[in-house]
Amino acid sequence: MTQHGTQSGTQTGTQGSRRRALLSVSDKTGVVEFARQLEARGWEILSTGGTYQSIVQAGIAARQVSDVTGFPEMLDGRVKTLHPAVHGGILARREPGHLGQLEAHGIGTIDLVCVNLYPFRETVARGAPDADVIENIDIGGPAMIRSAAKNHAGVLVLVDPADYPVALQDEVSDAERRRLAAKAYRHTSEYDAAITAYLTGASDELPTALPETLTLNLTRAAQVRYGENPHQPGAIYRLGDATGPVIDAQVVAGKPMSFNNYADADAAWALCQELAAQEAALPGHAAVCVAVKHANPCGVAVAADVRAAWERARDADTLSVFGGVVAVSQPVTLEAAQATRGTFLEVLIAPEVTPEAAAWFAEKKPDLRVLVAAPAQGVSVLDVRPLTGGFAVQERDARPWDDLCPEVVTRREPTEQEWLDLRFAWATVKHARSNAVVLAKGGVTVGLGAGAVSRIWAAERAVANAGEKAQGSVLASEAFFPFDDVVRLAASVGVTAILQPGGAKRDPEVIAACNELGISMVFTGSRHFKH
């Protein structure tokens, strides 16, 4: 264990009992109370700029760093802590050789460095001019943090207000000091990565989202027992400061989440939210329910309320929904919760779960993970997938229906209901693994074929899944038809309208088959592969 005051110096450079803390923070959360408690414990406080003003105005004794360095802040505040009187006091090992050199130059040790950095990312996020963004690149702050982290055996380094209580302990362990040092280096690393991304993305030669150098700042957000399979270690990581609907969800009932639960819940919530955003296109259908199995939708429905939406989605494929993950777009009431009786589910995620429903789940379905989704904030537009030795990176497929220019290419136009079902089927197939084909009717999926290596096989799977329910349904495909085989199969089971991107060499043959069979076909001009 390492004592706080061990071999600490004073402002005169002599070794004494009074410890010194340097406080210079952009995020001033809790800093005044922290300074007050340090003062009560006999610490001498050094500070700069706005932090100094906040502390002094609160009646707390503090010295400006310029009093210690003998130099005023210069260059509009760009230079204030870059001085041997600061960095010498931080970097000196607490042993006679280094302490003797400090004393010879009248420099005292600094035993605590509490620093967080200029709001660079926040400045970028609010769309500030480039000059303002550049001015918010902190120089002295990272230097002090890194110095203190390097010398963590003798100096406490704090970059997060949540860690302030650590400094108020009588004793801080070596392991805790090392943890704080690692956190400090992560803090500066993420900061540098944000600057690099900005400067690289600012080039006119490169897309902003895909810079020449891409740094992913990942922090473990949750531990899981294992990955996809028991022999694979796994964990869940947060990207930067982003918050996600599943990563940050409130668990109101059930067991801890597994690796696969996170992946499937995220997929289910994404499709649920996309359909919910189309509410104007789904008249009378205020609630959406999406059931997912192994990252693919297996039952999707809209209805007037959550219970009805769930029942329709469940009945779309009762076999596949067993052991699945379900997302709903509206609050789950006790009545809706009780409707899940008899169906084994892994996860249910919703924007809200009433206390009565949560209590029912906890008693009747203790293994079901029941989540209240968190707001998504600061989410990256990038889709990153691993390769051996690297990653494939692209922008997410976030193109909405309203960004398309649907074109009816057959003699028969879709009816009003067919248009609604085509939009519904298009959103669903966009979230299914390629090759994918979806049959839908009346705001519910009646057949899905996903992850097939042939489009006709995907269509055959969807038709087999639908059975008699295919009669009067519509069909959506995430990519074009190379042949007219899917059209002829669809017509044989009673499909009345088809939506696909178009753009194949044999489009004229495909359109001719639709006209021959009385099917309406719409081209979207937009492919949506999902591998």
SS3 171: strand
CA 233 to centroid of chain Cα atoms: 21
| Among 83, 294, 365, 430, the one annotated catalytic | 294
Of 44, 22, 49, the residue nearest 158 (C-alpha):
22
SS3 461: helix
CB atoms within 10 A of CB 452: 18
pLDDT of residue 84: 72
SS3 22: strand
Tell me whether the CATH fold assigned to 240-372 matches the one assigned to 401-523: yes
CATH architecture of 240-372: 3-Layer(aba) Sandwich (3.40)
The question of whether 294 is a catalytic residue gets the answer: yes
CB atoms within 10 A of CB 70: 9
Domain ranges of the chain: 2-201, 240-372, 401-523
pLDDT of residue 78: 62
Residue-wise pLDDT for 10-69, tens only, equals: 333 334 457 888 888 888 888 888 888 888 888 888 888 788 888 888 888 878 877 776
Of 176, 221, 164, the residue nearest 27 (C-alpha):
164
At a CB cut-off of 8 Å and minimum separation 6, what does 314 contact?
Answer: 291, 299, 321, 343
pLDDT of residue 406: 94
pLDDT beneath 50, residues of the chain: 1-16, 202-207
User: Any idea what the Cα angle at residue 449 is, between residues 448 and 454, rounded to 5°?
Assistant: 160
The question of whether 364 is a catalytic residue gets the answer: no
Spatial strand order in the sheet of 437-440: 407-408, 520-523, 497-500, 474-477, 437-440, 445-449
At a CB cut-off of 8 Å and minimum separation 6, what does 171 contact?
Answer: 1, 2, 3, 4
What values do phi and psi take at 474, rounded to 5? -115, 165
- CATH code for the structural domain at 401-523: 3.40.140.20
- Work out whether the CA dihedral 181, 184, 190, 196 comes out positive or negative: negative
pLDDT of residue 80: 60
| Among 4, 28, 98, 150, the one annotated catalytic | 150
172 vs 181: CA distance, rounded Å = 13
Q: Are 440 and 425 in contact (CB under 8 A)?
A: yes
Domain 2-201 of CATH type 3.60.20.10: no
At a CB cut-off of 8 Å and minimum separation 6, what does 355 contact?
Answer: none
- Work out whether the CA dihedral 238, 243, 247, 253 comes out positive or negative: positive
What values do phi and psi take at 107, rounded to 5? -110, 135
